[in-house]
C-alpha cells in the first residue's frame, strides 16, 4: 500500500535508507547531503533502525569504512557531495575494483574551486570513470525509487558494483514534494537479505582482498569489472520491471518525453528535465515538435538505446551542468555524440549551463529549442554555448 | 601462567612463510608475534596499509594470511578495519554471527605517523574494538627509503640525504606513541620483537583482549633502509632498547609503566654505529651531531621516567 508523504529529497532518501535498514552507514557531513546522515543518525538514536552508524572523521575514511564493512559482509551505505566525493576519489576506484555493492546518495554540488555550495554535476561527472553505476534522479520520488533499486542492482551477482544515486543539491535535496513511499515491509521484501558470495567474516572460509596485481593479471581483473558494468544494463531493466510491478512507477535507462516524433530535442539530466518538460509542453502547444531525453543511467551509458531513441531527431542540444574541460563540449554531450556517430543529418550542439547553481529558467530552455530550430533552418550555430552566462 | 617462548613458539602461525619480505626484516617477526597472541580458537580479520608488508604478503593469487585479510589503500588501514568491525557489530546484533572475532590493522610508519594519522586518530576516538599495530621501520621503505616523520634525526634517507651541507634528516622523530597515549584509549604500548618476544607477545595479548581500541608501536628494523647485516636484527633491536632510543613501556587506562629498564644505559653511538644510515656521522668531523642525538634521547628518557614515576 503506497503511503503519500511530503518529503524533501534528502528526507526521502533517508527514509529509503531507514526502510532498507542496512548493516552499516558511514558518513561525513557536507552541504547539501548532510541531512541524510543527520536524519539517519536520529533514526539510530530513536531505535528505529539497528544499523551501525559510523560518524567518521573524513569522507576518505567514510568510503574506507564502507569498503571494510561491505567486504566484511555488511550491507553498507553513505551519502556525500562535491568535495566530500572528491576526497573519496581514491577509494571510489578501490570500492568498484573490489566489487563491493556499496550504495551512495550523491547530492550533486559544484566542485571547488572556487568553493560553492550550489548545484551542478561536476562532482559525479568527475567520477564517471570510477567504475560506479550512476543513476540520476529528476525528482524526490525518483531519488527515493532509485535508492531502493540501487541495492538490488549493485548486489546482483552479474554486477557486484557500487551504485551512486545522484540528485540535485537544494533543488531536489531540500525542496519538499508530495511523493509516494512504500511500506517498510515492502521495501524489506524488495531488497531482501544481503547474501554476499565472498566476505571477510565468513566463518567457513578466510579470504584475502586487495592483493597486489602484477601485469599478468591486472588487465583480466579490469576486464571482469568492465563486463560487470556491461551486464548492469539488463539488471537495471529487470530490477525496474520488478519495481514497476510493486509501485506502478516505470523506470528505464532513460525517459523519453514527446520524443518519438520530435524534430528538436534536449538531452539533460536531473531536475532541469522537469523545467524542460514544461517548455516542451509550451512549444508543442505552438506546433513545434520539441522533445526531451532524460538519461537515468549514465554508467553504464546506454549507447545503443540512445542512438535508437534519438536517431530520427534533426536537432539535438545536449545540456551539461558540468564543464569537462575537454574543449569540445560537456561530458554528456561527448557521450551522446559518440552514441550517434555515423548518423547523417543530425545537428548536435553542446550547452554548458547552471554551473555553481546559476539559475536556469524556462526562458533559457526555450531559447535552446529556438536556437535549434534556427540552426536547422540556416545550418549556423555555436558548437558550445554557455547558457545564461554574463558575457 | 608465566611466559615461555618454548610454549608460545608452538602456537600455529597465522602468517605463512614464503612471503617476499627481505631476509633480516623486522616486520614479519613483529606480525607473527602479534598474531600469536590471538587465542587459537578465535578468528581475526586483518587489514594492512600499503607498504612493504602488504605488497610482499598478498600477491595475487597468493596470500600469506591465514585469517581474512583486507588491503584497500595506504592511509586508511584504521578506517578500513573500523568498517569491518562496525559490520561485525551489526551482524552480531542481528544474530548472523555469534563467535568472537578480533580486528587488527597493520601499518608502516609512513602509513601511520604520516598519511594515515588522521584515519588512525579517528578510528581510535570512535572507540572501535580494534588493535592498530604500527611496524615502525623509520622510513618509506616500499618506495625506496624516503624519510617519514618517524625517521630519526640525522638518518640518511633518499629524501633526507646526507650531503655537503646537511647531515641527513634535519628534524626529530615524531613521538607517535605519546600522541596515541593522549587519545586516552584503553591501551597504548611501545614494544619491539626482542629476545624471547615476551614484551611484544604480552603487550599484543593485552591490546587484542582490551575492550576497546588499542595501539601498539613496534620498532621493526629494515636492513635495507638502515643498512645493517641481516643477521644483526636482534642485536640492533637490543641496542635500540638499551640505549633508550626505543624504550619499552605501556599506558593502560592512562597509567604509564616502564616494562623494561636497561641495567646499564648504552651510549647511543653504539646503536648508531651499527647502521649505514648514520655512517656519515662517524667520519670524525660530525661528533657533535652524535652528542646532539644523545641529548635528545636522554631528555625523552627522563620525561618518560617521570611519566612512569620511576625517576
Ligand atoms: C596515496 C598514496 N600515496 C603514495 C603511495 C606510494 N606508497 C606506497 S607504500 C609507500 C611507503 C610506505 O611506507 P611505510 O608506511 O613506512 O611502510 P614500509 O614500506 O616502510 O613498510 C608509499 C609512499 C600510495 N600507495 N598511496
Ligand atoms: S625493504 Fe626493509 S621493510 Fe621492506 S621488506 Fe625489505 S627489509 Fe623489510
Ligand atoms: Mg616504513
CB contact under 8 A, A58 and B119: yes
Which chain A residues touch B69 with a CB distance below 8 Å? 200, 206-210
Alpha carbon of A159 to ligand 1 centroid (Å): 31
Taking the CB of residue B255, how many other CB atoms lie within 10 A of it?
A: 10
Residue of minimum CA distance from atom 25 in ligand 1: B74
Alpha carbon of B75 to ligand 1 centroid (Å): 8
pLDDT of residue B293: 98
C-alpha cell at A127: 567520477
Grouping H, G, I as helix, E, B as strand and the rest as coil, residue B95 is coil
C-alpha cell at B153: 634525526
Q: Which range marks the domain in which residue A375 is found?
A: 254-387
Nearest CA in chain A to B55: A212
Q: How many domains does chain A have?
A: 2
For chain A, say whether B109 makes contact (Cβ under 8 Å): no
How many Å lie between the alpha carbon of B179 and the closest alpha carbon of chain A?
17
Domain match, A264 and A125 both:
no
Residue of minimum CA distance from atom 4 in ligand 2: B52
Write the CATH number for A140.
3.40.50.970
Grouping H, G, I as helix, E, B as strand and the rest as coil, residue A250 is coil
Domain match, A287 and A355 both:
yes
Q: Which of A168, A140, A149 is nearest to A33 (CA)?
A: A168
Domain match, A319 and A342 both:
yes
Q: Rounded CA gap, A328 and B168, in Å?
A: 50
Write the CATH number for B200.
3.40.50.970
Domain match, A117 and A258 both:
no
Residue of minimum CA distance from atom 5 in ligand 2: B21
Whether B145 contacts B215, CB under 8 Å: no
Of A201, A216, A247, which one is at a domain's C-terminal end? Answer: A247
Over residues B250-309, the pLDDT tens digits come to 999 999 999 999 999 999 999 999 999 999 999 988 899 999 999 999 999 999 999 999
Q: Rounded CA gap, A374 and A381, in Å?
A: 8
Alpha carbon of B27 to ligand 1 centroid (Å): 15
Q: Which range marks the domain in which residue B55 is found?
A: 5-307
Write the CATH number for A326.
3.40.50.920
Residue of minimum CA distance from atom 8 in ligand 2: B25
Alpha carbon of B23 to ligand 3 centroid (Å): 16
Q: How many domains does chain B have?
A: 1
Domain match, A241 and A292 both:
no
pLDDT of residue A214: 97
Residue of minimum CA distance from atom 6 in ligand 1: B143
Which chain A residues touch B111 with a CB distance below 8 Å? none
Q: Rounded CA gap, A161 and B37, in Å?
A: 37
CB contact under 8 A, B73 and A51: no
Domain match, A183 and A331 both:
no
Grouping H, G, I as helix, E, B as strand and the rest as coil, residue A77 is strand
Q: Which residues of chain B have pLDDT under 50?
A: none
DSSP-derived letter for residue B15 is B
Residue among B45, B71, B93 whose CB faces A50 most closely: B93
State whether the beta carbon of B226 lies less than 6 angstroms from ligand 1: no
Residue of minimum CA distance from atom 16 in ligand 1: B110
pLDDT of residue B285: 86
pLDDT of residue A264: 98
Q: Rounded CA gap, B84 and B71, in Å?
A: 12
pLDDT of residue B82: 98
Domain match, A307 and A212 both:
no
Nearest CA in chain A to B81: A68
Which chain B residues touch A52 with a CB distance below 8 Å? 86-87, 89-90, 93
Q: What are the beta bridge partners of residue B65?
A: B15
C-alpha cell at B290: 652524535
How many Å lie between the alpha carbon of A58 and the closest alpha carbon of chain B?
8
State whether the beta carbon of B53 lies less than 6 angstroms from ligand 1: yes
State whether the beta carbon of B143 lies less than 6 angstroms from ligand 1: yes
Taking the CB of residue B184, how many other CB atoms lie within 10 A of it?
A: 12
pLDDT of residue B286: 86
User: Whose grid coordinates read 625517576?
Assistant: B311
- pLDDT, one tens digit for every residue, chain A (391 residues): 689 999 999 999 999 999 999 999 999 999 999 999 999 999 999 999 999 999 999 999 999 999 999 999 999 999 999 999 999 999 999 999 999 999 999 999 999 999 999 999 999 999 999 999 999 999 999 999 999 999 999 999 999 999 999 999 999 999 999 999 999 999 999 999 999 999 999 999 999 999 999 999 999 999 999 999 999 999 999 999 999 999 999 999 999 999 999 999 999 999 999 999 999 999 999 999 999 999 999 999 999 999 999 999 999 999 999 999 999 999 999 999 999 999 988 999 999 999 999 999 999 999 999 999 999 999 899 999 999 999 8
Domain match, A192 and A324 both:
no
Q: Kindly give, in sequence order, each residue whose CB lies less than 8 Å from that of residue B37, ignoring residues fewer than 6 positions away.
A: B201, B202, B204, B205, B207, B208
Whether A146 contacts A175, CB under 8 Å: no
Of A247, A272, A294, which one is at a domain's C-terminal end? Answer: A247
CB pairs under 8 A between A and B: 166
Give the number of whichever ligand sits closest to the CA of residue B227: 2
Pocket lined around ligand 2, Cβ cut-off 6 Å? B 21-22, 25, 27, 52, 56, 137, 141, 222-225
Q: Tell me which residues of chain B, numbers 69 to 98, contact chain A at a CB-CB cutoff of 8 Å.
A: 69-73, 75-76, 79-91, 93-94, 97
Q: What angle do CA B193, B195, B199 make, to 5 degrees?
A: 55
pLDDT of residue A390: 94
Of A183, A212, A247, which one is at a domain's C-terminal end? Answer: A247
The pLDDT > 70 percentage for chain B reads 99
How many Å lie between the alpha carbon of B150 and the closest alpha carbon of chain A?
23
Q: What is the CA radius of gyration of chain A?
A: 21
In this structure, what are the phi and psi dihedrals at residue A322, rounded to the nearest 5 degrees?
-155, 140
CA-B51 nearest atom, ligand 2 = 4
Alpha carbon of B15 to ligand 2 centroid (Å): 16
Domain match, A221 and A345 both:
no
pLDDT of residue A323: 97
Q: Which of B82, B56, B183 is nearest to A54 (CA)?
A: B82
CB contact under 8 A, A68 and B86: yes
For chain A, say whether B63 makes contact (Cβ under 8 Å): yes
Residues of A with CB under 8 A from a CB of B: 23-24, 26, 50-52, 54-58, 60-61, 64-74, 76, 90-91, 94, 98, 200-203, 206-214, 217
pLDDT of residue A256: 98
Number of helical H runs and strand E runs in chain A? 12, 16
pLDDT of residue B182: 98
Which chain B residues touch A91 with a CB distance below 8 Å? 72-73, 76
CB contact under 8 A, A74 and B87: yes
Q: Rounded CA gap, B228 and B22, in Å?
A: 12
Nearest CA in chain B to A213: B60
Give the number of whichever ligand sits closest to the CA of residue B225: 2
State whether the beta carbon of B140 lies less than 6 angstroms from ligand 1: yes
Residue among B65, B79, B101 whose CB faces A64 most closely: B79
How many Å lie between the alpha carbon of B118 and the closest alpha carbon of chain A?
8
Sheet holding B131-136, edge to edge: A208-209, B68-71, B43-48, B101-108, B131-136, B214-219, B187-191, B249-252, B255-258
pLDDT of residue A391: 85
Domain match, A184 and A76 both:
yes
pLDDT of residue B284: 87
Amino acid at each position: 500500500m503506497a503511503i503519500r508523504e511530503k518529503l524533501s529529497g534528502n528526507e526521502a532518501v533517508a527514509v529509503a535508507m531507514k526502510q532498507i535498514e542496512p548493516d552499516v552507514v558511514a558518513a561525513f557531513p557536507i552541504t547539501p547531503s548532510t541531512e541524510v546522515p543527520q536524519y539517519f543518525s536520529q533514526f539510530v538514536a530513536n531505535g528505529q533502525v539497528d544499523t551501525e552508524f559510523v560518524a567518521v572523521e573524513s569522507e576518505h575514511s567514510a568510503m574506507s569504512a564502507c569498503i571494510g564493512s561491505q567486504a566484511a559482509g555488511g550491507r553498507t551505505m553513505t551519502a556525500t557531495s562535491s568535495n566530500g566525493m572528491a576526497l573519496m576519489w581514491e577509494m571510489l576506484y578501490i570500492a568498484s575494483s573490489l566489487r563491493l555493492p556499496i550504495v551512495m546518495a550523491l547530492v550533486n554540488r559544484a566542485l571547488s574551486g572556487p568553493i560553492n555550495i550550489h548545484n551542478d554535476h561536476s562532482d559525479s561527472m568527475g567520477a564517471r570513470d570510477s567504475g560506479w553505476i550512476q543513476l540520476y534522479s529528476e525528482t524526490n520520488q525518483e531519488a527515493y525509487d532509485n535508492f531502493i533499486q540501487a541495492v538490488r542492482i549493485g548486489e546482483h551477482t552479474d554486477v557486484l558494483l557500487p551504485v551512486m544515486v545522484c540528485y540535485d543539491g537544494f533543488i531536489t535535496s531540500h525542496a519538499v514534494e508530495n511523493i509516494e513511499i512504500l511500506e517498510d515491509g515492502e521495501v524489506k521484501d524488495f531488497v531482501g537479505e544481503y547474501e554476499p558470495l565472498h566476505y571477510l567474516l565468513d566463518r567457513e572460509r578466510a579470504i584475502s582482498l586487495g592483493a597486489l596485481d602484477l601485469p599478468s593479471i591486472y588487465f583480466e581483473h579490469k576486464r571482469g569489472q568492465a563486463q560487470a558494468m556491461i551486464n548492469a544494463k539488463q539488471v537495471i531493466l529487470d530490477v525496474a520491471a520488478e519495481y514497476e510491478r510493486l509501485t506502478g512507477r516505470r523506470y528505464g535507462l532513460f525517459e523519453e518525453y514527446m520524443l518519438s516524433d520530435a524534430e528538436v530535442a534536449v538531452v539533460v539530466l536531473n531536475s532541469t528535465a522537469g523545467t524542460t518538460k514544461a517548455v516542451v509542453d509550451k512549444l508543442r502547444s505552438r506546433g513545434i515538435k520539441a522533445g526531451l531525453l532524460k538519461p537515468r543511467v549514465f554508467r553504464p551509458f546506454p549507447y545503443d538505446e540512445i542512438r535508437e531513441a534519438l536517431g530520427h531527431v534533426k536537432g539535438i542540444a545536449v545540456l551539461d551542468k558540468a564543464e569537462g574541460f575537454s574543449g569540445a563540449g560537456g561530458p554528456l554531450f561527448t557521450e551522446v555524440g559518440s552514441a550517434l556517430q555515423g548518423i547523417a543529418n543530425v545537428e548536435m550542439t553542446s550547452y554548458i549551463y547552471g554551473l555553481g547553481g546559476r539559475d536556469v529558467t524556462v526562458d533559457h530552455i526555450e531559447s535552446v529549442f529556438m536556437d535549434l530550430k534556427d540552426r536547422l533552418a540556416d545550418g549556423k550555430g555555436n558548437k558550445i554555448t554557455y547558457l545564461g552566462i554574463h558575457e | 601462567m608465566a611466559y615461555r617462548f618454548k610454549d608460545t613458539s608452538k602456537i600455529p602461525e597465522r602468517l605463512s612463510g614464503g612471503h617476499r619480505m627481505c631476509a633480516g626484516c623486522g616486520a614479519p617477526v613483529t606480525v607473527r608475534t602479534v598474531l600469536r597472541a590471538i587465542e587459537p580458537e578465535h578468528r581475526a580479520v586483518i587489514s594492512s596499509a600499503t607498504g612493504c608488508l602488504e605488497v610482499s604478503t598478498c600477491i595475487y593469487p597468493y596470500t600469506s594470511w591465514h585469517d581474512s585479510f583486507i588491503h584497500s589503500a595506504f592511509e586508511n588501514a584504521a578506517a578500513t578495519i573500523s568498517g569491518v568491525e562496525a559490520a561485525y557489530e551489526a551482524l552480531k546484533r542481528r544474530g548472523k554471527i555469534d563467535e568472537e572475532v578480533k580486528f587488527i590493522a597493520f601499518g608502516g610508519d609512513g602509513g601511520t605517523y604520516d598519511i594515515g594519522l588522521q584515519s588512525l586518530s579517528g578510528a581510535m576516538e570512535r572507540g572501535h574494538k580494534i588493535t592498530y599495530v604500527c611496524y615502525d621501520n623509520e622510513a618509506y621503505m616500499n618506495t625506496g627509503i624516503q624519510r617519514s616523520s618517524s625517521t630519526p634525526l640525522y638518518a640518511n634517507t633518499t629524501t633526507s640525504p646526507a650531503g655537503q651541507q646537511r647531515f641527513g634528516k634535519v628534524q626529530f622523530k615524531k613521538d607517535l606513541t605519546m600522541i596515541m597515549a593522549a587519545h586516552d584509549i584503553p591501551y597504548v604500548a611501545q614494544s619491539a620483537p626482542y629476545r624471547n618476544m615476551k614484551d611484544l607477545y604480552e603487550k599484543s595479548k593485552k591490546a587484542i583482549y582490551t575492550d576497546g581500541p588499542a595501539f601498539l608501536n613496534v620498532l621493526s628494523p629494515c636492513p635495507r633502509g638502515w643498512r645493517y647485516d641481516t643477521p644483526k636484527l636482534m642485536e640492533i633491536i637490543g641496542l635500540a632498547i638499551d640505549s633508550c632510543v626505543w624504550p619499552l613501556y605501556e599506558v593502560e587506562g592512562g597509567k604509564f609503566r616502564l616494562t623494561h629498564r636497561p641495567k646499564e644505559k648504552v651510549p647511543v653511538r653504539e646503536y648508531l654505529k651499527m647502521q649505514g644510515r648514520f655512517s656519515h656521522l662517524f667520519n670524525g668531523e660530525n661528533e657533535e651531531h652524535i652528542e646532539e642525538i644523545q641529548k635528545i634521547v636522554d631528555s625523552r628518557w627522563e620525561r618518560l621516567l617521570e611519566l612512569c614515576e620511576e625517576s
